[in-house]
Amino acid sequence: MKKIWFVTTEAVPLAKTGGLADVCGTLPSILNSRGFVPEIIMPWYKTIEAKQVGRMMVRLGAENRYVRIGRIDLAGVEVKLIGAPQFFHREGLYGTESGSYADNDRRFIFFSRAATKYIQRQENTGLIHAHDWFTGLVPFYVKTRPELSEFASVFTIHNLRHQGQFAADSFRLTGLDWKHFSPQGVEYYGQLNLMKAGIVGADRITTVSPTYSREIQTQEFGEGLESVLRSRREDLTGIVNGIDTRTWNPEIDPYLGEEEKFGPEDMGGKDKVKTNLLDKFSLAGAGDEPLVGMVSRLAEQKGIRLLLQNEQAITNLPGRWLILGTGEPELEAGLKRLEKSAPGKIKVIIDFNEKLAHRIVAGSDLYCMPSRFEPCGLNQLYCAQYGTVPVVHRTGGLADTVVDVRETEDAGRATGFSFTKYKPRSFRKTLEAAMSCYHDQPEFWKQLQANGFEKDFSWEKSAEQYVEIYDSIS
């Protein structure tokens, strides 16, 4: 039995801001049944109720700080919590609406040091799997400390945009020798870069789709770290995330009424969800026009700008739009203006609402995901299970998981529509093609839906690929 520690700042259902939480909350429980003994190590946020099982001292710069260790069980997986209320009893995980916490360098360097120390004190050795910049120092400690030489590490990049870059002064908090503050180490143009620490430190690096793993080695998507990533390309692998089919399944979806549940053989429930959504949001009167859905963080990354630049086309094309999201105030305001330009046709809901997210995915005919870049993306995977046809920008995980109608000769493979150039016109043309297909080729549309249902986006499949990586270094 191999021991594997997941060092992470999020895991569903304990704490979540993005896909990172899904990976760290789901993958360990699957590994449990595949010959591994997984354990999660994460911060003890104030929302997590747990029992204290130990304590230790952890250094941060010149100080020694006291840490409480908590323990809970998550679907058969042990979770160890690093208790430091001054750092982790906060309103948000990384910041508030007004920005990131000013002491995020201290918070996550401390967490990385504490997690490493905790692991080092255990009797057995094994693998350490760290996630995103918050824990980037962990693989670096494993690589550089002789007392950790029996361990191997994997580092996963969930989103390269956020790198944990801090002034050089923060380096002294790490306890590392100054020789590591170099271009071969954790320094990046005179600053401390914690994402880079993970990339240069880990034995293997993964990211959340094969296409994104190639894109991040280019200047366009590499966020400045492309040459570091290129230097590690032999050890870099892309693995698409799975989805939680216990909640994202139209036959048992807890957010659909009994009459609304559906499956590939009987899609009646899907029509009911659509009708109920159109009524609830005063979008009725659409006849047989498609309902286009969108659920997203409202950030530049998500391609909201392409919608705003196509206001006229969107108002003129057939279809009703239901958009749910929160995020950057400027994009929220832009979408609200779009809504005003076509009342009764476009509804924008500024909220974070799990139930409505499920219902939009379930009731929509088309789903819009024009992300500028997308490491993996989850909603296009959900859509496949719900007979909802995605329109996406062909990038990252979207390129790997949506097969464009025009890209394949084989009608049995196509699952959606995608555009290559990130330009308003390309997006508009693809949207028009999807709308015409919906209207003019109902039989082919059914085929697209059926092809989606056939796809296997389960965690079991992704877990197999992670196991291959773990086996290669242990």
Under the rule (CB under 6 A), what is the footprint of ligand ADP? 18-19, 295-297, 324-326, 352-354, 357, 376-379
CB of 379 to ligand ADP, least distance (A): 5
30 versus 378: smaller Cβ distance to ligand ADP: 378
Q: Give the Cα separation of 10 and 12 in Å (integer).
A: 7
CB of 380 to ligand ADP, least distance (A): 8
354 versus 432: smaller Cβ distance to ligand ADP: 354
Of all residues in this chain, which one has the CB nearest to ligand ADP in the complex? Answer: 18
DSSP 355-409: HHHHHHHHH-SEEEE--S--SS-SHHHHHHHTT-EEEEES-HHHHHH--BTTT-S
Contact between 17 and 94 under an 8 Å Cβ cutoff? The reply is yes
Contact between 101 and 55 under an 8 Å Cβ cutoff? The reply is no
Contact between 64 and 20 under an 8 Å Cβ cutoff? The reply is no
81 versus 292: smaller Cβ distance to ligand ADP: 292
141 versus 248: smaller Cβ distance to ligand ADP: 248
CB of 248 to ligand ADP, least distance (A): 8
CB of 346 to ligand ADP, least distance (A): 16
Structure tokens at 273: 């969800």
Compute CA 164 distance to the chain's CA centroid, rounded to the nearest angstrom: 17
Contact between 10 and 16 under an 8 Å Cβ cutoff? The reply is yes
Tell me phi and psi for residue 413, to 5 degrees. -115, -30
135 versus 174: smaller Cβ distance to ligand ADP: 135
CB of 326 to ligand ADP, least distance (A): 5
Location of structure tokens 């989606």: 452
Helix residue ranges per DSSP H, 309-344: 311-316, 329-341
The number of C-alpha atoms within 13 Å of 219 and in the hemisphere containing its C-beta is: 0
379 versus 462: smaller Cβ distance to ligand ADP: 379
CB of 207 to ligand ADP, least distance (A): 13
For 75-150, list the strands marked E by DSSP: 77-83, 95-96, 99-100, 127-131
CA 27 to each of CA 9, 236, 242, 253, 345: distance values in angstroms, whole numbers, following the listed order:
15, 19, 9, 21, 41
Structure tokens at 239: 């693995």
172 versus 372: smaller Cβ distance to ligand ADP: 372
201 versus 387: smaller Cβ distance to ligand ADP: 387
Location of structure tokens 């594997």: 4
18 versus 263: smaller Cβ distance to ligand ADP: 18
CA 199 to each of CA 156, 176, 203, 233: distance values in angstroms, whole numbers, following the listed order:
9, 17, 9, 10
Contact between 140 and 151 under an 8 Å Cβ cutoff? The reply is no
**Burial of 206 by CB count in 10 Å (0-12 exposed, 13-18 middle, 19+ buried)?**
buried
94 versus 181: smaller Cβ distance to ligand ADP: 94
279 versus 354: smaller Cβ distance to ligand ADP: 354
Do β-strands 127-131 and 2-7 pair in parallel, antiparallel, or remain unpaired?
parallel
